[in-house]
Amino acid sequence: MIDAAIRGREIVKLEIAEEILRSFGELRFVARGVSMLPAIFPGDQLVVRRERIEDARTGDVVLFRREGRLFAHRVVAGLCGTLITRGDALEQSDAPITEEEWLGRVSKVIRNEKSLEFGVDCSISATFLRWAVRRSDLAMKWLLRFRLIHERMARFAQLVRPTAVVEERT
């Protein structure tokens, strides 16, 4: 009974997200999964723009609806009006996305209140990190742990940062 209520809320959230995209052309939401590590971390905000499926290119991260959930995965191929996607941390590609499932393209990632330009990162280190996360749960756990430690250190640094004291001269 509780599962049905939760499922019902998730469906309503999906319908609201789709309506926002249709009405305003842009949607911002918080990523929760780990399928796009290291490009997208849980807690990152994704900005999605409504675009035509025909405009998606290999390397773009796109948003689609499937099985009552939203997925943001990278386009790895396009075939006759459909797209093949895969999460950066996953070994298997998704089933082709149809026009009915298509919602839009991720245009921006916001992490720690900073906007990141989002595109294809072809550096050797990024390629190696995607490869390691795709093949190793341990690499994924260490990456998530590293990010958590990094965020805590950044918050601590803000707390202890000395503030300038202005003395009044008389």
More confident: 8 or 84: 84
Would you place residue 150 in the very low, low, confident or very high pLDDT band (cuts 50, 70, 90)?
confident
The per-residue pLDDT of the chain, averaged, comes to 86
Residue 27 pLDDT greater than 90, yes or no: yes
Q: Does residue 98 register a pLDDT over 70?
A: yes
pLDDT of res. 21: 94
pTM of the model: 0.78
Domain spans, the chain: 2-121
DSSP the chain: -HHHHHHHHHHHHHHHHHHHHHHHSEEEEE---STTTTTS-TT-EEEEE---GGG--TT-EEEEEETTEEEEEEEEEEETTEEEEE-TT-SSPPPPBPTTTEEEEEEEEEETTEEEE-S----HHHHHHHHHHHH-HHHHHHHHHHHHHHHHHHHHHHHHPPPP-PPPP-
**What's 169's DSSP letter?**
P
d(CA 88, CA 38): 7
Q: Is the pLDDT of residue 146 over 90?
A: no
Pairing of strands 114-117, 102-111: antiparallel
Which superfamily, per CATH, for 2-121? Answer: Umud Fragment, subunit A (2.10.109.10)
pLDDT digits (tens, 9 = 90+) for 2-17: 688 878 888 898 999 9
User: Taking a C-beta distance cutoff of 8 angstroms, is the pair 61, 118 a contact?
Assistant: yes
pLDDT in tens, 101-132: 999 999 999 988 888 766 656 677 777 777 78
Using alpha carbons, select from 120, 128, 76 the residue that is nearest to residue 97.
76
Q: What is the pLDDT of residue 147?
A: 80
pLDDT given at position 118? 64
Residue 166: pLDDT band by 50, 70, 90 thresholds? low
The span from the CA of 168 to the CA of 158, in Å, is: 26
